[in-house]
Structure 1
Amino acid sequence: MSSPTGGPQTAVIIEDDPEIRHILAEVLESAGFSTVSVGNGIDGVHAVLTYKPLLTTLDVNMPGIDGFEAAKRIRAQSDTYIIMLTGLTDEADVVAGLGAGADDYLLKPFRPRELRARIDAAMRRSHAGPGGPATTVPSQDTVGPSVPGARPVTSDLPTVSPSAPTPRVPVASEASGTEAAASVDHHPGATVGDAGEWLEHRGLRLHAENRLVTMNGAELDLTRTEFDLLATLLESKRRVRSKADLTLVLRGESYVTSYFVGDADKRAVEAHMTNLRRKLGDSAANPTYIETVRGVGYRLTAESA
């Protein structure tokens, strides 16, 4: 992956475990990044501000300041894409991480190939300017290590933990035919059309091309992920979107059975949705904009109460 000046893009690794730092460096270097590794949160914040990385991986449990505080400090001064890595599994921890400024949340133990797929997906969708094309990302077979001797990622790389990884569940088994359908049900009162048009629902307006969201005329400040989730729901109207479906939308992948979505992915979608609803002033119990369809996913509320 090259920077506008022709050299490799930089990624910062903030992780106190040397073995995990080594695995992360291998994955990122195989994706074409030049890596900078540090072992604590304070040094990590300084590294991000110094090297201005395109992407940062951030551990939660570290000496000094933890990953949540580091994410807040980084996000206050940088738009680097943050992937938070942690063994914490509670939904509250996921919400806290995403609320602190992380863009993605990956549970340990993780498969290096899964991290590589998330990195590729993140770069496809997160660094296109408003209305501009996304940055080109090397394919999985492309290897562009920035350090001599760096090895490409293969299926033989170890997982971060010796414990057996949780089996992944095929997306196709989680979604109904209705959710997988490509058609979109039109609903009166909402605008759907070219990228240059506004999507509207109950005073909520979104312009996909310019990446603008307003509510009753006031502009909202959403993260990239929150914007993409809201845009997907506005486009889908009353059609329910499953958490698996929304995960693939955020990855920029097609809805096909060869991609897998785990529990961590679903928790991340739930956490992003919690943050989005908070910014909309919405309530899951009595929603104005976004309904939860229990056991399935999310959809827009009806146009009129």
Structure 2
Amino acid sequence: MNDASILLVDDEQSIVELIKTVLHKEGYTHIDSVRTGEEAIVACQAKIYDLIVLDVMLPGRSGIEVCPFLRETTNAPILFLSARISDFDKLTGFAVGGEDYITKPFNPLELVARIRSQLRRYLGYTGGAEPLKEASKDQWSGRTNLYDYGRFQVNEAAGELRVEGDIVPCPALVFQLLLFLCKNPNRLFTKSELYEYVWGEETLSDDNTVMVHIHRIRERIELEPSRPTLLVNVRGLGYKLVHENPRRIYPT
């Protein structure tokens, strides 16, 4: 994991140097940095990164504005850094494609811990970052552990979501939450249980985190996200992925 490639996007050189210093002490040496959102887009088009630390307040386009463009080329975890601390700002960061949101001033050791946690989940699951691409039918049908829910299919080995035949980009934690639900069809989970199983933490640090990721799944798999029929909420109890006859396809 210490071979992970990390991109820092921040126009405050002192913060960049601080983050580089603590990451170097932890053994992370493959670190690039840029100062603007436009430079970040170019960097991600030219190189594959395993994680991106993205400041919100950047010259020109903000980190919030840039994040969707980054998501066009990478599924790597994106951690927002920001002096904005409101719940609305945090939810906006999650909604546009971020995996985590860290407020300034921050504890450098906490930042490193969160980076390590994201890399462990992402690299442990995918084996490394890959650029988004269309998969051929042969690639899709030849993979193992395909969860078929009719309107959509989840390919565990390829880390891919296909909706009505089309590959749909899916950030790492959104995919992991959907995969977990696919493996447990028609089973009801509380928000705390989902947080523990998917995020690997017993305490729900932010009550909105699971809700935001549920919304992002619905945006991808539901015909009408505002009226979900697949990923439903049982009021006061939790969420479940509904299917009368879900299929798991194994290699022949």
TM-score normalised by L of structure 1: 0.60
Deviation at 1:59, TM superposition (A): 1.0
Against the structure 1 CA distance between its residues 128 and 85, is the aligned structure 2 distance closer, same or farther, given a 3 Å change threshold? Answer: same
Deviation at 1:13, TM superposition (A): 1.4
Against the structure 1 CA distance between its residues 66 and 285, is the aligned structure 2 distance closer, same or farther, given a 3 Å change threshold? Answer: closer
C-alpha distance in 1 between matches for 2:145 and 2:186: 19
SS across alignment from 2:168: coil
C-alpha distance in 1 between matches for 2:194 and 2:110: 17
Where does structure 2 lack aligned partners over 5 or more consecutive residues? 129-142, 246-252
1:40-89 superposed Cα distances (whole Å, 9 cap, x missing partner): 33344444455643321001122221002322333334454321223445
Aligned to 1:21: 16
* Alignment match of 2:205 (pick from 262, 266, 282): 262
The answer as to 2:159 corresponding to 1:218 is no
* Alignment match of 1:233 (pick from 181, 186, 202): 181
Paired positions, count: 228
8 Å Cα contact 1:95/1:274 also seen in 2: no
The answer as to 2:146 corresponding to 1:205 is no
The answer as to 2:238 corresponding to 1:290 is no
Amino acid at match of 1:226: V
The answer as to 2:113 corresponding to 1:107 is no
Against the structure 1 CA distance between its residues 95 and 302, is the aligned structure 2 distance closer, same or farther, given a 3 Å change threshold? Answer: same
8 Å Cα contact 1:241/1:298 also seen in 2: yes
Deviation at 1:288, TM superposition (A): 0.9
SS across alignment from 1:241: coil
Aligned to 1:73: 69
Deviation at 1:298, TM superposition (A): 1.8
8 Å Cα contact 1:94/1:267 also seen in 2: no
- Give RMSD over aligned pairs: 3.4
Percent of matched pairs sharing the same residue: 23
C-alpha distance in 1 between matches for 2:182 and 2:68: 29
Farther off after superposition, 234-243 or 52-61: 234-243
Amino acid at match of 1:207: N
8 Å Cα contact 1:16/1:38 also seen in 2: yes
Higher CA-based Rg: 1
Amino acid at match of 2:27: G
1:1-305 to structure 2, matched below 5 A, reads 1-3=1-3, 9-34=4-29, 35-49=31-45, 52-89=48-85, 93-94=89-90, 96-102=92-98, 104-109=99-104, 110-127=106-123, 134=127, 196-201=144-149, 203-215=151-163, 217-223=164-170, 224-251=172-199, 253=200, 257=202, 260-263=203-206, 266-283=207-224, 286-301=227-242, 303=244
Higher helix content, 1 or 2: 2
Farther off after superposition, 30-39 or 58-67: 30-39
8 Å Cα contact 1:284/1:291 also seen in 2: no
8 Å Cα contact 2:85/2:103 also seen in 1: no
Against the structure 1 CA distance between its residues 49 and 203, is the aligned structure 2 distance closer, same or farther, given a 3 Å change threshold? Answer: closer
Deviation at 1:119, TM superposition (A): 1.9
TM-score normalised by L of structure 2: 0.70
C-alpha distance in 2 between matches for 1:53 and 1:214: 23
Where does structure 1 lack aligned partners over 5 or more consecutive residues? 4-8, 136-194
Deviation at 1:276, TM superposition (A): 1.5
Amino acid at match of 2:21: E
Aligned to 2:139: none
C-alpha distance in 2 between matches for 1:244 and 1:301: 19
